[in-house]
Amino acid sequence: MAAKDAKVDGKGDSKTAKAADKATDKPADKAAAKADPPPASSSPMAELKRSNEKLDKILQKNRPDWSPEAELQRSEVRKLVGSFLDYGELAKRALARHWEGLAVKQREEFVNTLRELVERSYLKQVHGNANYNIKYDKEIKQDGEATVTGMLNTMARGKKVKIALEYKMLWRGDHWVVYDVVTDEQSMLENYRAEFNKIINKEGFDALMKRMKKKLNEKDEKEE
């Protein structure tokens, strides 16, 4: 999930995001914040590692795009990625104060659209190259939140590349979920927050949705 790819119009400003809406760095779901703490034996790093390994196994199977097997594969990928990426949490934090003013239908549409954008960015950045591996470094847990750090070793234009990874996670009842990924100190959440805030303040929420959907359509056309 590439923070560098986390843009709708290419003009995100993470510095602006850090200065504004700092309150949204707290869990957006108050109920989650008050939930029972994770057991001491739980390991966000171990859960993340297992999820990424399962995803690798699914993606290693080459299926023709037109085949029923390919559609099943895409369904499995969406289900697995959705099990450890909390799109709802990311959406709330990214929209910050604008979230409360949205109707239920608007929230659902926004989360679903954001899900597709984030999913594609994550698969492209982390799992898009056959010659890659993730070396997990350490995990830090505090109450119901955690940070897992690691290094993505991959290839770009024929050269070896190392990308520092930092996963921001929350405890959700019985497992750990990711709500932000920082790649080489670039936060996906902060980039989205700055960009979304800028567009909504200037043009409104509907304009933001149009831009997000246009971005998805552009990617669909390139893939065809």
* Residue 10 CB neighbours (<10 A): 7
pLDDT given for residue 64 in this prediction: 65
Q: DSSP state, 144?
A: T
Q: Considering the chain, what percentage of its residues have pLDDT values greater than 90?
A: 47
* Residue 20 CB neighbours (<10 A): 14
- pLDDT one-digit tens code per residue, 101-124: 999 999 999 999 999 988 887 777
Helix (H, G, I), strand (E, B) or coil at 139: strand
Structure-derived torsion over alpha carbons of residues 133, 136, 142, 146, reported in degrees to the nearest 10: 0
In 143-222, the DSSP E strands lie at 145-156, 159-172, 175-183, 186-187
Q: What angle, rounded to 10 degrees, do the helices at 104-127 and 188-203 form? A: 140
pLDDT given for residue 133 in this prediction: 84
Element (H, E) at 140: strand 133-142
What's the full length of the chain, in residues?
224
Q: DSSP state, 37?
A: P
Q: DSSP state, 53?
A: H
| Sheet architecture: strand order including 133-142 | 133-142, 145-156, 159-172, 175-183, 186-187
Which tokens sit at 47? 């859960």
- pLDDT one-digit tens code per residue, 1-50: 445 555 665 454 444 444 444 444 555 554 444 567 899 899 999 999 99
pTM attached to this predicted model: 0.79
